[in-house]
Amino acid sequence: MKLSDFKIIITGAAQGMGAHFATRLAEAGAQVAAGDVKEDGLAALAEATKGLPGKVHTRRLDVSSEEDVGAFVEWAHGAMGGLNGLVNNAGILRDGLLVKKDRTTGAITKLTKEQWDAVIGVNLTGATFMVRDVVAKMVATETRPGVIVNMSSVARHGNRGQSNYSAAKAALAANTTTWMREFGQFGIRVGAVAPGMIETPMTQGMNQKARDALVANIPVGRIGLPEDIWVAVKFVLECDYFNGRTIDVDGGLAM
């Protein structure tokens, strides 16, 4: 598909990679429905993309709310006059070791249910319901072809202190193949992109020592940029023969 033909939802679009993807798509002439809980970021995105060949429509979206997801999909379809794509980008971190023993006191702490539920709710359950409702709308309106891009992570292979995040991102990669098999009959492709360390507000909020150690282990010698990930997302959107697979874009990082 040509980028200019897309009427596409991007979640987590107020900043970082999501805002970058929305801008690139609007530059190519696409219609974009940008959602996020950060309404000030969405307002900044709308202002920054004025005058581009495409159009960025913005609305608050909490992907962890099933009701919000359904309402957003309906709004996006109406605002853009159709819907044929989704970039499933929204995500959060609530890192912590599953079990930790204090070296001085011997006290045991555990990953909390709140930490687990928050990450699974946004990164997996929310992402899954976004796919469900977007695909349901495309099928109901007999829209084809369509494309879903899931944002997984190299952490899906396992990463210390990220039991919740790794579980969610591994599930998204697995379900990319599952959904390929389910949605092919509807003319809908599903692909995933798995970033490594990328310069975004999320990674900027990491523990500095952990961040520096990760960057030092990247063979290309630098942290990634949102544009590096956009190149992969663009490939998935445009290549009609790509389906059901996950592309790692990580500079060779082994976590």
Q: Which residues are catalytic?
A: 165
Distances (CA, A) of 159 to 65, 162, 198: 27, 6, 16
Residues linked to residue 163 through DSSP beta bridges, in sequence order: none
And the tokens for 216?
């030092």
What string of DSSP letters covers 150-195? EE--GGGG--TTBHHHHHHHHHHHHHHHHHHHHHGGGTEEEEEEEE
Q: Which residues pair with 96 in a beta bridge?
A: 162
- One DSSP character per residue, 2-39 reads -GGG-EEEEES-SSHHHHHHHHHHHHTT-EEEEEES-H
Helices (H), 3-147: 16-27, 39-48, 66-80, 113-120, 127-140
Compute how many other C-beta atoms are within 10 angstroms of the C-beta atom of residue 114. Answer: 9
CA distance 135 to 115: 29
**Sign of the CA dihedral with 172 first, then 177, 182, and 186 last:** positive
Are the beta carbons of 163 and 111 closer than 8 angstroms? yes
